[in-house]
Amino acid sequence: MTLCAEKPHVSDIRERIGRLKARLSDCDLCPRSCHVDRHTGNDGICGMSTEISISSANLHHGEEPPLSGSRGSGTIFLTGCNLKCVYCQNYPISQLRHGYAITHDALVNTMLELQSRRAHNINFVTPTHYSAHIAEAIVDARDRGLTIPIVYNSSGYDNVEVLRELDGLIDIYLPDMRYSDSENAERYSSAPDYPSVNRAVIKEMFRQVGLLETDSNGVAEKGLIIRHLVLPDNISGTKDTLEFISKEISAKTSISLMSQYFPAHRASEFESLSRRITRDEYKQAADWMHEFNLENGWCQNEEI
């Protein structure tokens, strides 16, 4: 099993934030490396400028049990996305970019307000293209009394160099592992390098935070939770993904094996994606978890 690194001192954090913000002028915050100047517009794949935009911020009770707990996860849904998934279930936010602009100070205040409402954590949803903004907001919120964990809830299509700049700021990583096959990643998300990028990302996230750790009430304090959405006709390459996790991360990794796929956005244009998964397809995915001795996690609506 790979050992995670000790959380570093953050005395250099302002310097790291400066480096992240500098990337916005020739943006390579994500693997797309669009090299657009986001100060002057929103011409990159994510479609977002340097202005922070969110669609909502509220307590969410539908996350994995250690995240939602009894009081809810303080989710902040960020607008835009660096993937182009044809079946995206949040496409009004990610693809159509429905949301509203929010200042840095307002974002910090939102984080503190969610804490005052007794959220178990601050959960940034689709944060990759806003990593510079988020890093600065976390530091300023901590300075003003934020004490609850930070969740980085991403598609798993991140820039490893950027993640290293976030080391010590993120308590819980919640990435997707969507594909193990580059052709499917290209066809359905326009990201042929997704499998290789994603696996490097998972290794870096695990290096930083290690296995999931919870408090006496089972609420997450630190660690890695991997989400895997089972797609029809094994488009997601579930067996290969689970084997990778078991052999190259840890068989004790916490995995959320999701069955809630339904045809959304442009999915009806693709025959294989135009239906929900079958009971047998999901059972096969759960059986693979057991085959690879993956001990910790959740099937949809029940614990493994």
Residue-level pLDDT at 42: 76
Residues of the chain with pLDDT under 50: 1-8, 302-304
Helix 104-116 / helix 131-143 crossing angle, nearest 10 deg = 60
Residue-level pLDDT at 303: 46
Instruction: Tell me which residue of 237, 233, 213 sits closest to 223, measured CA to CA.
Output: 213
In contact, 289 and 238? CB cutoff 8 Å: no
Residue 111 CB partners (closer than 8 Å, separation 6+): 74, 76, 122, 137, 138, 141, 146
Q: How far apart are CA 192 and CA 218, in angstroms?
A: 37
Residue-level pLDDT at 43: 82
Residue-level pLDDT at 300: 78
For the record, the structure tokens of 23 come out as 């990337």
Length of the chain: 304
Q: What angle do CA 113, 167, 6 make, to 5 degrees?
A: 115
Instruction: Tell me which residue of 25, 123, 117, 38 sits closest to 82, measured CA to CA.
Output: 38
Residue-level pLDDT at 41: 84
For the record, the structure tokens of 137 come out as 């907001």
Using the 8-state DSSP alphabet, how is residue 263 labeled? -
Residue-level pLDDT at 239: 98
Instruction: Tell me which residue of 204, 261, 276 sits closest to 85, measured CA to CA.
Output: 261
In contact, 292 and 254? CB cutoff 8 Å: no
Q: How far apart are CA 131 and CA 88, in angstroms?
A: 21
Query: With a threshold of 0.85, does the pTM exceed it?
Result: yes
Q: How far apart are CA 131 and CA 126, in angstroms?
A: 10
Using the 8-state DSSP alphabet, how is residue 23 labeled? G
| Helix, strand or coil, per DSSP, at residue 253 | coil
Instruction: Tell me which residue of 108, 94, 92 sits closest to 57, measured CA to CA.
Output: 108
